[in-house]
């Protein structure tokens, strides 16, 4: 493989990472809101959140992407395909992240909250200082897992016309007639990225277990 072609593959890998990272971050923000709504005692909030989660977990991501891509122009929204791709990935991962977060919040031991009650913390102080940090620590492994899933699932966004790692491999295979080479390289790049993410995750977990790097 010439350097030029390898650079193209790396550029595409960069795009995969960038779009995945943005989608994970937006998905985390939406996921937090959905989780909060779902934990709310108000049915006006919890029911829509439940519907959201079951819809986005129940429909294949590929179908969601195609729906969003075709729906946006109908609504008169003209955006680059990257934006449509990010919208699809974020909305989907948000549903999973909301459920992970909910599990985290529900696993915060009751006694820790009672201890916060006894020192006079308000509900908001408890959320900020006790429940959220502990829930986040409990959720971290699932978050890393979700990052890896989204990195790999991002190969689907080629259907809405984004040239990312998988599509680049496909294109180069077709023009050079060397599919084995390009798909192997693509596979190896995915693998390395996922290793890095997993490694970063374990490092973060280790630092958090003792609370800091001190």
Cα–Cα distances (Å) from 119 to 65, 115, 141, 197, 211, in that order, read 49, 7, 30, 39, 22
Q: Which is nearer to other proteins, 21 or 141 (CB)?
A: 141
**Residue of 76, 119, 177, 213 interacting with other proteins (CB under 8 A):** 119
**Residue of 2, 3, 210, 213 interacting with other proteins (CB under 8 A):** 210
* 208 near other proteins (CB under 8 A): yes
* 214 near other proteins (CB under 8 A): yes
* 117 near other proteins (CB under 8 A): yes
* 107 near other proteins (CB under 8 A): no
* 32 near other proteins (CB under 8 A): no
Q: For the beta carbon of residue 34, count every other beta carbon within 10 angstroms.
A: 25
Give the alpha-carbon dihedral of 48, 50, 52, 58, to 10 degrees. Answer: -150
Burial class (CB in 10 A: 0-12, 13-18, 19+), 182: buried
Q: Which is nearer to other proteins, 37 or 135 (CB)?
A: 135
* 120 near other proteins (CB under 8 A): yes
Instruction: Please identify which residue in the block is written with the tokens 């699809």.
Output: 88
Answer for the pair 34, 95: CB distance below 8 angstroms, yes or no. yes
* Interacting residue ranges for other proteins, rule: CB under 8 A: 109, 111-112, 114-122, 125, 129-130, 133-134, 137, 208-211, 214
């Amino acid at each position: 493989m010439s350097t030029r072609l390898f650079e193209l593959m790396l550029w595409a890998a960069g795009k995969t990472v960038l779009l995945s990272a943005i989608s994970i971050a937006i998905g985390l923000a939406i996921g937090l809101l959905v989780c909060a709504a779902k934990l709310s005692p108000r049915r006006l909030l919890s029911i829509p959140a439940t519907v959201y989660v079951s819809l986005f977990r129940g429909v294949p991501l590929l179908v969601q992407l195609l729906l969003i891509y075709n729906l946006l122009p109908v609504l008169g929204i003209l955006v680059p395909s990257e934006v449509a791709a990010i919208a699809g990935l974020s909305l989907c991962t948000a549903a999973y992240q909301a459920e992970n977060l909910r599990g985290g919040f529900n696993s915060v031991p009751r006694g820790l909250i009672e201890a916060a009650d006894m020192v006079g913390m308000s509900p908001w102080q408890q959320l900020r200082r006790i429940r959220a940090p502990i829930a986040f620590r409990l959720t971290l492994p699932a978050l890393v897992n979700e990052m890896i899933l989204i990195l790999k699932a991002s190969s689907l966004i080629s259907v809405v016309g984004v040239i990312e790692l998988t599509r680049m491999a496909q294109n180069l295979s077709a023009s050079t007639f060397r599919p084995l080479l390009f798909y192997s390289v693509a596979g190896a790049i995915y693998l390395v990225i996922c290793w890095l993410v997993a490694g970063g995750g374990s490092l973060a977990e280790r630092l958090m277990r003792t609370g800091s790097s001190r």
